[in-house]
Amino acid sequence: MKRNQWKQENIRLGTHGEDYGSWMSNPVFYIIGGIGVLAAVLAVLSFYVFHVAVLGVLFAIITIALVVLLIWITWIRRQYAFGGGRIMEQVHRVILSHLDYDGEGKILEVGCGSGALTIRAALTWPKAKVIGIDYWGAVYNYSKALCEKNAASEGVASRCVFQHGDAKQLDFPDESFDVVISNYVYHNVMGADMQKLRDMGYEEVRLVDTAQEAFGAHRRAAMMMLGSSRLLVGRK
């Protein structure tokens, strides 16, 4: 086992009341729930007011399907939660375990969300300074203030810096960081991306299938709404 893997096994985030949220945002539940309620109302009206059985059956089927979907995504959200199934925490362990890094210097996380991976990196490498950037859109209820609060609660505020940034246009000079990490930001990692990294001078570029490590099996990854889980790795 790599040394940083051993360290990570002893790191559990969210044990002091931190709020790391969920990648499945509340508006998703509100939208599905709202459509479900509307479909149920239309089913009742179709049966008992308009007396159109075909429409009543159709809206009833839609209502049942939406209820099942709501139950499924609620379960998925619970599995990813730091206070629940902790799948996201395991995903973060896998990402950091693939880094060939001595723990010195600076780390950049692109798309830090609630700061969980940034904070885990700081806890894993006590000598490193970690910078997390995000644009913090309103959809996920994340913010710079939330990240800073979580970092302070986990005891790494002095080595974590959070700032607004755009993944498509990073505001840093070349060679500013020793390690750059990202999780669930670049959703479509393809072979062409590997070649782009090679063209930029990166070495040991490889695409790692992490479904087994992160989820235990490909089937479970699919149940979590991820047909596959892959990690693009390279060094320069």
- Tell me the pairing of strands 230-235 and 203-209: antiparallel
Digits of tens for pLDDT over the chain (236 positions)?
455 655 666 788 888 889 998 877 788 899 999 999 999 999 999 999 999 999 999 999 999 999 999 999 999 988 888 877 788 888 898 899 888 899 999 999 999 999 999 999 999 999 999 999 999 977 777 899 999 999 999 999 999 999 999 888 888 998 899 999 998 876 655 666 788 888 888 888 888 887 777 777 878 888 887 766 778 888 87
Query: How far, CA to CA in Å, does 11 sit from each of 39, 88, 116, 124, 156?
Result: 45, 13, 12, 8, 13
- Maximum Cα–Cα distance for the chain, whole Å? 72
Q: Where are the domains of the chain?
A: 26-80, 87-235
Q: Does domain 87-235 have CATH number 3.60.9.10?
A: no
Count Cα atoms within 13 angstroms, Cβ side, for 138.
Answer: 1
Residue 5 — left, alpha, or beta (φ > 0 → left; ψ -120 to 50 → alpha)? alpha
